[in-house]
């Protein structure tokens, strides 16, 4: 049996395409670690969580902002991430808490890679500035990538965005956010970008088949975290 207490001070990301169920799995993981194992857990979402981050999130996801350049989009995500890192993530890790983050730099490397000619090297360099600080750059200890066929993932996306601007009602689907409204070819490339990240650094990623029932998915989540606890990663 894994010694779950070894996860204190670990930084875990849940990530994947639209409708993959990562947020549901994050909540299940909070319940398991906090309520069943007695671990202190901080759950954050990227972008968001902080006051500044939530304001940036509203700009990023508003479907009325159709003229946003991809480099601007990338920098806004990094700005929100930097604030959350300083205000929430680093302090929680220093307190010995488990930090669960719903999306992180892995999302930017999936969603913005290639847009406006953005390279992996550029995104990673800006990411290191965003998540750097007095203690150095703090990358996640493990990223759980929830993988799902794009057609299935798109079918799971439910309209949830409340338009901020009066002309938003004239958009093709004002219930979906700006990213969700992008064409299916874009989302297929996002999926491949996630899988490429995991293949390039398997020691820091676990790909989870998200096409199954939630309990089966969660069993794989616990297996991945249990392996990390047993390895006692530094």
Q: Which two tokens stand for residue 53?
A: 């981050």
Yes or no: say if 129 and 145 are a contact pair by the CB < 8 Å rule. no
Tracing tokens 């700009």 back to the chain, one arrives at 59
Q: Where are the domains of the chain?
A: 4-229
CATH of domain 4-229: 3.40.50.300
Segments of 78-204 assigned E as strands: 98-102, 142-147
CA angle (130 as vertex; 126, 135 as ends), nearest 5 = 120
Tracing tokens 């069943």 back to the chain, one arrives at 36
How is the chain classified by DSSP, letter by letter?
---GGGGTT-EEEEEESTTSSHHHHHHHHHIIIIIIT---EEEEESS-SSHHHHHHHHHHH-TT-TT--HHHHHHHHHHHHHHHIIIIIHHHHHTT-EEEEES-HHHHHHHTTTGGG--HHHHHHHHHHHT--TT-----SEEEEEE--HHHHHHH--------SGGGGGSS-TTS-TTTTS-HHHHHHHHHHHHHHHHH-GGGEEEEETTS-HHHHHHHHHHHHHHHHHHT--
Residues written for the chain: 234
For the chain, 234 residues long, the average pLDDT of each consecutive 10-residue run is: 94 95 95 97 98 97 94 98 98 98 98 96 98 94 97 75 45 70 94 97 97 97 94 50
pLDDT of residue 165: 43
Q: Which two tokens stand for residue 87?
A: 């205000």
pLDDT of residue 143: 98
Yes or no: say if 16 and 45 are a contact pair by the CB < 8 Å rule. no
pLDDT of residue 176: 81
CA 81 to chain centre: 11
pLDDT of residue 170: 46
pLDDT of residue 175: 65
pLDDT of residue 16: 97
pLDDT of residue 166: 41
């Amino acid at each position: 049996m894994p010694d779950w207490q070894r996860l204190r001070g670990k930084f875990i990301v849940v990530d994947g395409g639209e409708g993959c169920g990562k947020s549901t799995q994050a909540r299940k993981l909070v319940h398991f670690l906090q309520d069943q194992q007695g671990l202190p857990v901080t759950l954050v979402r990227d972008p968001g969580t902080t006051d500044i981050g939530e304001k940036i999130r509203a700009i990023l996801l508003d479907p009325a902002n159709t003229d946003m350049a991809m480099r601007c989009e990338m920098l806004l995500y990094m700005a929100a991430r930097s604030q959350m890192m300083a205000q929430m993530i680093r302090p929680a890790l220093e307190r010995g808490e488990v930090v669960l983050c719903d999306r992180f730099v892995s999302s930017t490397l999936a969603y913005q890679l290639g847009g406006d000619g953005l390279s992996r090297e550029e995104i990673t360099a800006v990411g290191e500035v965003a998540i750097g600080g007095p203690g150095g750059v703090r990358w996640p200890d493990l990223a759980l990538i929830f993988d799902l066929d794009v057609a299935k993932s798109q079918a799971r996306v439910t309209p949830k965005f409340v338009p901020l601007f009066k002309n938003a009602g004239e958009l093709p689907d004002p219930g979906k956010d700006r990213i969700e409204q992008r064409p299916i070819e874009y989302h297929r490339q996002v999926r491949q970008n996630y899988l490429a990240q995991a293949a390039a650094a398997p020691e820091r990623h676990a790909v989870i088949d998200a096409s199954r029932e939630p309990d089966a998915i969660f069993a794989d989540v616990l297996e991945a975290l249990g392996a990390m606890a047993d390895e006692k990663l530094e």
